[in-house]
Amino acid sequence: MNRQIGIATVTGSQHLIIGAWVVMLLGSNLAAIILMELLGGVPFWWPWFHAIALAALLGLTSVIRALKPLRMYVLIMLVLILSGFAGDLEWGLIPYIRSSSFWMDWTSQAPWAVSQVATHLLRLTPAMVIMTLLLLTGSRPKDMFLVKGRIDAPVEPSRLLGMKRPEPWTRTGIIFAIVFATIMVAFLILAWKPTMNSFTRALPLIPVAILIAAINAFNEEFTLRAAPLSTLTPRAVGRQQALALTAIFFGLGHYYGVPNGVPGVLLSAFLGWFLGKSLLETRGFFWAWFLHFIPDVMIFTFYAMFA
Protein backbone atom coordinates (compact mmCIF):
# COMPACT_ATOMS: atom_id res chain seq x y z
CA MET A 1 0.00 0.00 0.00
CA ASN A 2 1.10 3.57 -0.61
CA ARG A 3 1.31 5.98 2.29
CA GLN A 4 0.95 9.75 2.12
CA ILE A 5 1.65 12.36 4.76
CA GLY A 6 -1.29 14.02 6.50
CA ILE A 7 -5.00 13.65 5.95
CA ALA A 8 -4.81 11.45 2.84
CA THR A 9 -3.68 8.49 5.06
CA VAL A 10 -3.45 5.17 3.23
CA THR A 11 -4.39 4.34 -0.34
CA GLY A 12 -6.02 0.91 -0.52
CA SER A 13 -4.71 -1.77 -2.85
CA GLN A 14 -6.67 -2.59 -5.98
CA HIS A 15 -8.27 -5.81 -4.74
CA LEU A 16 -9.51 -4.12 -1.58
CA ILE A 17 -10.99 -1.23 -3.55
CA ILE A 18 -12.80 -3.59 -5.93
CA GLY A 19 -14.01 -5.67 -3.00
CA ALA A 20 -15.31 -2.60 -1.16
CA TRP A 21 -17.29 -1.48 -4.22
CA VAL A 22 -18.82 -4.95 -4.59
CA VAL A 23 -19.83 -4.88 -0.92
CA MET A 24 -21.35 -1.40 -1.25
CA LEU A 25 -23.37 -2.35 -4.33
CA LEU A 26 -24.64 -5.53 -2.67
CA GLY A 27 -25.78 -3.48 0.32
CA SER A 28 -27.30 -0.70 -1.80
CA ASN A 29 -30.62 -0.25 -3.62
CA LEU A 30 -29.11 -0.13 -7.11
CA ALA A 31 -30.27 -3.55 -8.32
CA ALA A 32 -33.68 -3.08 -6.70
CA ILE A 33 -34.08 0.35 -8.34
CA ILE A 34 -33.32 -1.14 -11.76
CA LEU A 35 -35.80 -3.99 -11.22
CA MET A 36 -38.48 -1.62 -9.93
CA GLU A 37 -38.10 0.74 -12.87
CA LEU A 38 -37.91 -1.97 -15.55
CA LEU A 39 -40.24 -4.64 -14.15
CA GLY A 40 -42.33 -2.76 -11.63
CA GLY A 41 -41.32 -5.00 -8.74
CA VAL A 42 -38.62 -6.98 -7.00
CA PRO A 43 -38.70 -10.79 -6.53
CA PHE A 44 -39.35 -11.80 -2.92
CA TRP A 45 -36.03 -13.66 -2.80
CA TRP A 46 -33.94 -10.71 -3.98
CA PRO A 47 -33.09 -9.30 -0.53
CA TRP A 48 -32.14 -12.82 0.60
CA PHE A 49 -29.72 -13.02 -2.31
CA HIS A 50 -28.02 -9.83 -1.13
CA ALA A 51 -27.90 -10.98 2.49
CA ILE A 52 -26.48 -14.41 1.58
CA ALA A 53 -23.92 -12.86 -0.78
CA LEU A 54 -22.77 -10.46 1.96
CA ALA A 55 -22.61 -13.33 4.48
CA ALA A 56 -20.45 -15.29 2.01
CA LEU A 57 -18.15 -12.29 1.60
CA LEU A 58 -17.93 -11.99 5.37
CA GLY A 59 -16.77 -15.60 5.47
CA LEU A 60 -14.16 -14.88 2.81
CA THR A 61 -12.71 -12.04 4.89
CA SER A 62 -11.97 -14.64 7.57
CA VAL A 63 -10.42 -17.10 5.14
CA ILE A 64 -8.54 -14.78 2.76
CA ARG A 65 -6.07 -12.69 4.72
CA ALA A 66 -5.83 -10.02 2.03
CA LEU A 67 -9.56 -9.24 2.45
CA LYS A 68 -9.45 -8.99 6.24
CA PRO A 69 -9.43 -5.13 6.26
CA LEU A 70 -12.95 -5.23 4.73
CA ARG A 71 -14.43 -7.53 7.39
CA MET A 72 -16.06 -4.85 9.53
CA TYR A 73 -17.35 -2.96 6.48
CA VAL A 74 -19.02 -6.15 5.21
CA LEU A 75 -20.48 -6.73 8.67
CA ILE A 76 -21.90 -3.20 8.79
CA MET A 77 -23.56 -3.69 5.40
CA LEU A 78 -24.96 -7.04 6.53
CA VAL A 79 -26.45 -5.42 9.64
CA LEU A 80 -28.00 -2.69 7.49
CA ILE A 81 -29.61 -5.07 5.01
CA LEU A 82 -30.88 -7.53 7.65
CA SER A 83 -32.31 -4.72 9.76
CA GLY A 84 -33.90 -3.01 6.76
CA PHE A 85 -32.49 0.32 7.91
CA ALA A 86 -31.20 1.49 4.53
CA GLY A 87 -33.35 0.81 1.51
CA ASP A 88 -36.77 0.97 -0.08
CA LEU A 89 -37.62 -2.73 -0.21
CA GLU A 90 -39.56 -2.77 3.07
CA TRP A 91 -37.63 -5.92 3.93
CA GLY A 92 -35.78 -6.69 7.14
CA LEU A 93 -36.32 -6.59 10.88
CA ILE A 94 -37.46 -2.96 11.21
CA PRO A 95 -40.04 -3.10 8.37
CA TYR A 96 -41.24 -6.45 9.79
CA ILE A 97 -41.85 -4.89 13.21
CA ARG A 98 -43.46 -1.78 11.75
CA SER A 99 -45.83 -3.85 9.61
CA SER A 100 -46.87 -6.12 12.49
CA SER A 101 -50.47 -5.83 13.68
CA PHE A 102 -49.29 -4.94 17.19
CA TRP A 103 -47.13 -2.02 16.02
CA MET A 104 -49.69 -0.74 13.52
CA ASP A 105 -52.53 -0.90 16.05
CA TRP A 106 -50.46 0.86 18.69
CA THR A 107 -49.11 3.63 16.43
CA SER A 108 -52.55 4.26 14.89
CA GLN A 109 -53.95 4.97 18.36
CA ALA A 110 -50.95 6.77 19.86
CA PRO A 111 -50.46 10.53 19.41
CA TRP A 112 -48.25 11.53 16.47
CA ALA A 113 -45.45 12.67 18.78
CA VAL A 114 -45.34 9.35 20.67
CA SER A 115 -45.52 7.15 17.56
CA GLN A 116 -42.82 9.14 15.75
CA VAL A 117 -40.40 9.12 18.68
CA ALA A 118 -40.97 5.38 19.10
CA THR A 119 -40.37 4.77 15.39
CA HIS A 120 -37.08 6.65 15.41
CA LEU A 121 -35.92 4.92 18.57
CA LEU A 122 -36.66 1.60 16.83
CA ARG A 123 -34.57 2.78 13.88
CA LEU A 124 -31.66 3.33 16.28
CA THR A 125 -31.31 -0.43 16.76
CA PRO A 126 -28.83 -1.02 13.89
CA ALA A 127 -26.69 1.91 15.09
CA MET A 128 -26.50 0.39 18.57
CA VAL A 129 -25.59 -3.02 17.13
CA ILE A 130 -22.89 -1.54 14.89
CA MET A 131 -21.50 0.60 17.71
CA THR A 132 -21.33 -2.44 19.99
CA LEU A 133 -19.52 -4.48 17.32
CA LEU A 134 -16.97 -1.70 16.77
CA LEU A 135 -16.36 -1.30 20.50
CA LEU A 136 -15.93 -5.05 20.93
CA THR A 137 -13.32 -5.09 18.14
CA GLY A 138 -11.26 -2.39 19.82
CA SER A 139 -12.54 0.85 18.29
CA ARG A 140 -12.70 3.87 20.57
CA PRO A 141 -15.28 6.67 20.31
CA LYS A 142 -12.77 8.93 18.56
CA ASP A 143 -12.02 6.15 16.06
CA MET A 144 -15.74 6.19 15.19
CA PHE A 145 -15.72 10.02 14.99
CA LEU A 146 -17.99 10.15 18.08
CA VAL A 147 -16.25 13.22 19.46
CA LYS A 148 -16.79 16.91 18.71
CA GLY A 149 -13.53 17.11 16.81
CA ARG A 150 -11.76 20.28 15.76
CA ILE A 151 -14.73 22.30 14.53
CA ASP A 152 -12.49 25.08 13.11
CA ALA A 153 -10.28 22.70 11.13
CA PRO A 154 -9.48 23.85 7.57
CA VAL A 155 -11.68 22.68 4.71
CA GLU A 156 -9.50 21.06 2.09
CA PRO A 157 -10.01 22.89 -1.25
CA SER A 158 -12.21 21.08 -3.76
CA ARG A 159 -13.55 21.79 -7.24
CA LEU A 160 -16.96 20.52 -6.14
CA LEU A 161 -17.08 23.34 -3.60
CA GLY A 162 -15.46 25.94 -5.84
CA MET A 163 -12.74 26.46 -3.24
CA LYS A 164 -9.17 27.31 -4.23
CA ARG A 165 -7.72 27.73 -0.74
CA PRO A 166 -8.49 26.32 2.71
CA GLU A 167 -11.15 27.96 4.85
CA PRO A 168 -12.20 27.07 8.40
CA TRP A 169 -15.12 24.69 8.87
CA THR A 170 -16.70 27.28 11.18
CA ARG A 171 -17.23 29.51 8.13
CA THR A 172 -18.02 26.86 5.52
CA GLY A 173 -20.28 24.91 7.89
CA ILE A 174 -22.43 27.92 8.75
CA ILE A 175 -22.75 28.93 5.08
CA PHE A 176 -23.83 25.44 4.07
CA ALA A 177 -26.23 25.15 7.00
CA ILE A 178 -27.98 28.32 5.81
CA VAL A 179 -27.99 27.12 2.18
CA PHE A 180 -29.30 23.64 3.04
CA ALA A 181 -32.01 25.03 5.29
CA THR A 182 -33.11 27.61 2.70
CA ILE A 183 -33.29 25.06 -0.11
CA MET A 184 -35.18 22.58 2.06
CA VAL A 185 -37.73 25.16 3.25
CA ALA A 186 -38.32 26.37 -0.31
CA PHE A 187 -38.79 22.82 -1.57
CA LEU A 188 -41.14 21.88 1.28
CA ILE A 189 -43.26 25.00 0.82
CA LEU A 190 -43.60 24.39 -2.92
CA ALA A 191 -44.35 20.68 -2.45
CA TRP A 192 -46.67 20.82 0.59
CA LYS A 193 -48.18 24.33 0.26
CA PRO A 194 -48.77 24.83 3.99
CA THR A 195 -51.18 27.40 5.37
CA MET A 196 -50.74 29.64 8.38
CA ASN A 197 -53.33 27.53 10.21
CA SER A 198 -51.34 24.34 9.64
CA PHE A 199 -48.20 26.03 10.96
CA THR A 200 -50.07 27.31 14.03
CA ARG A 201 -51.40 23.81 14.75
CA ALA A 202 -47.87 22.41 14.51
CA LEU A 203 -46.33 24.87 17.00
CA PRO A 204 -46.82 22.62 20.07
CA LEU A 205 -45.16 19.77 18.15
CA ILE A 206 -42.01 21.68 17.15
CA PRO A 207 -40.04 20.49 20.24
CA VAL A 208 -40.90 16.91 19.22
CA ALA A 209 -39.82 17.63 15.64
CA ILE A 210 -36.50 18.95 16.99
CA LEU A 211 -36.02 15.81 19.13
CA ILE A 212 -36.79 13.50 16.19
CA ALA A 213 -34.46 15.50 13.94
CA ALA A 214 -31.66 15.16 16.51
CA ILE A 215 -32.18 11.38 16.77
CA ASN A 216 -32.44 10.90 13.02
CA ALA A 217 -29.38 13.03 12.27
CA PHE A 218 -27.28 11.07 14.77
CA ASN A 219 -28.64 7.76 13.54
CA GLU A 220 -28.00 8.31 9.84
CA GLU A 221 -24.67 10.08 10.27
CA PHE A 222 -23.27 7.35 12.48
CA THR A 223 -24.77 4.33 10.72
CA LEU A 224 -24.38 5.41 7.10
CA ARG A 225 -21.26 7.56 7.35
CA ALA A 226 -19.14 7.60 10.51
CA ALA A 227 -19.11 3.84 11.10
CA PRO A 228 -18.33 2.85 7.48
CA LEU A 229 -15.69 5.58 7.13
CA SER A 230 -14.02 4.44 10.35
CA THR A 231 -13.60 0.93 8.91
CA LEU A 232 -12.60 1.99 5.39
CA THR A 233 -9.97 4.55 6.35
CA PRO A 234 -7.08 4.25 6.65
CA ARG A 235 -6.62 0.47 6.71
CA ALA A 236 -8.72 -0.60 3.74
CA VAL A 237 -9.27 1.70 0.77
CA GLY A 238 -8.14 5.17 1.79
CA ARG A 239 -9.90 8.48 2.17
CA GLN A 240 -11.05 9.32 -1.36
CA GLN A 241 -12.43 5.86 -2.13
CA ALA A 242 -14.15 5.73 1.27
CA LEU A 243 -15.80 9.10 0.65
CA ALA A 244 -17.01 7.97 -2.78
CA LEU A 245 -18.35 4.66 -1.43
CA THR A 246 -20.34 6.24 1.40
CA ALA A 247 -21.59 9.13 -0.75
CA ILE A 248 -22.93 6.91 -3.54
CA PHE A 249 -24.49 4.49 -1.05
CA PHE A 250 -26.24 7.43 0.61
CA GLY A 251 -27.36 8.79 -2.75
CA LEU A 252 -28.80 5.48 -3.96
CA GLY A 253 -30.74 5.17 -0.71
CA HIS A 254 -32.63 8.36 -1.61
CA TYR A 255 -33.80 7.39 -5.11
CA TYR A 256 -37.36 7.14 -3.79
CA GLY A 257 -36.83 9.88 -1.22
CA VAL A 258 -37.54 13.62 -1.21
CA PRO A 259 -36.63 14.77 -3.85
CA ASN A 260 -36.70 11.47 -5.75
CA GLY A 261 -35.20 10.02 -8.91
CA VAL A 262 -31.79 10.91 -10.34
CA PRO A 263 -31.89 14.50 -8.92
CA GLY A 264 -32.48 13.05 -5.46
CA VAL A 265 -29.58 10.62 -5.87
CA LEU A 266 -27.18 13.34 -7.07
CA LEU A 267 -28.19 15.81 -4.37
CA SER A 268 -28.01 13.20 -1.62
CA ALA A 269 -24.68 11.86 -2.90
CA PHE A 270 -23.19 15.36 -2.86
CA LEU A 271 -24.53 15.93 0.64
CA GLY A 272 -23.13 12.55 1.72
CA TRP A 273 -19.73 13.43 0.27
CA PHE A 274 -19.72 16.84 1.97
CA LEU A 275 -20.73 15.46 5.38
CA GLY A 276 -18.21 12.65 5.09
CA LYS A 277 -15.56 15.24 4.24
CA SER A 278 -16.42 17.08 7.47
CA LEU A 279 -15.96 13.90 9.51
CA LEU A 280 -12.54 13.19 8.05
CA GLU A 281 -11.21 16.74 8.14
CA THR A 282 -12.40 17.68 11.63
CA ARG A 283 -11.98 14.15 13.00
CA GLY A 284 -15.29 14.65 14.76
CA PHE A 285 -19.06 14.35 14.55
CA PHE A 286 -20.22 17.93 15.11
CA TRP A 287 -20.54 19.35 11.60
CA ALA A 288 -21.91 16.17 10.02
CA TRP A 289 -24.59 15.94 12.72
CA PHE A 290 -25.40 19.68 12.73
CA LEU A 291 -25.66 20.00 8.94
CA HIS A 292 -27.96 16.97 8.85
CA PHE A 293 -29.96 18.15 11.86
CA ILE A 294 -30.90 21.59 10.48
CA PRO A 295 -32.79 20.43 7.34
CA ASP A 296 -34.28 17.53 9.32
CA VAL A 297 -35.86 20.05 11.71
CA MET A 298 -37.60 21.61 8.71
CA ILE A 299 -38.73 18.24 7.35
CA PHE A 300 -40.17 16.94 10.62
CA THR A 301 -41.82 20.29 11.36
CA PHE A 302 -43.67 19.99 8.05
CA TYR A 303 -44.60 16.40 8.92
CA ALA A 304 -46.04 17.73 12.17
CA MET A 305 -48.10 20.30 10.29
CA PHE A 306 -49.94 17.56 8.45
CA ALA A 307 -49.93 14.93 11.21
| Helix H or strand E segment including 264 | helix 261-282
pLDDT of residue 8: 38
From first CA to last CA, the distance across the chain in angstroms is: 53
pLDDT of residue 88: 59
Q: Is the pTM of this model over 0.85?
A: yes
What domain count does the chain have? 1
Does residue 146 surpass a pLDDT of 80? Answer: yes
User: Per-residue pLDDT averaged across 285-299, rounded?
Assistant: 95
Write down the H helix ranges in 99-168. 101-109, 112-122, 125-136
Give the pairing type, strands 154-155 and 2-3. unpaired
The CB density around residue 165, as the number of other CB atoms within 10 Å, is: 7
The helix/strand/coil state of 274 is: helix
**Nearest C-alpha neighbor of 299 from the set 171, 194, 172:** 194
Does residue 27 surpass a pLDDT of 50? Answer: yes
List, for residues 98-131, the tens digit of each pLDDT value.
999 999 999 999 999 999 999 999 999 999 999 9
The CB density around residue 149, as the number of other CB atoms within 10 Å, is: 21
Instruction: Give the rounded percent of residues in the chain with a pLDDT score beyond 90.
Output: 71
- Amino acid found at 26: L
The helix, strand and coil proportions of the chain, stated in percent and rounded to the nearest 5, come to: 70, 5, 25
pLDDT of residue 7: 37
pLDDT of residue 201: 87
pLDDT of residue 159: 86
List, for residues 62-92, the tens digit of each pLDDT value.
999 989 999 999 999 999 999 998 765 678 9
Domain that holds residue 80: 2-305
pLDDT of residue 2: 41
pLDDT band of 3, cuts 50, 70, 90: very low
Question: Higher-confidence residue: 44 or 257?
Answer: 44
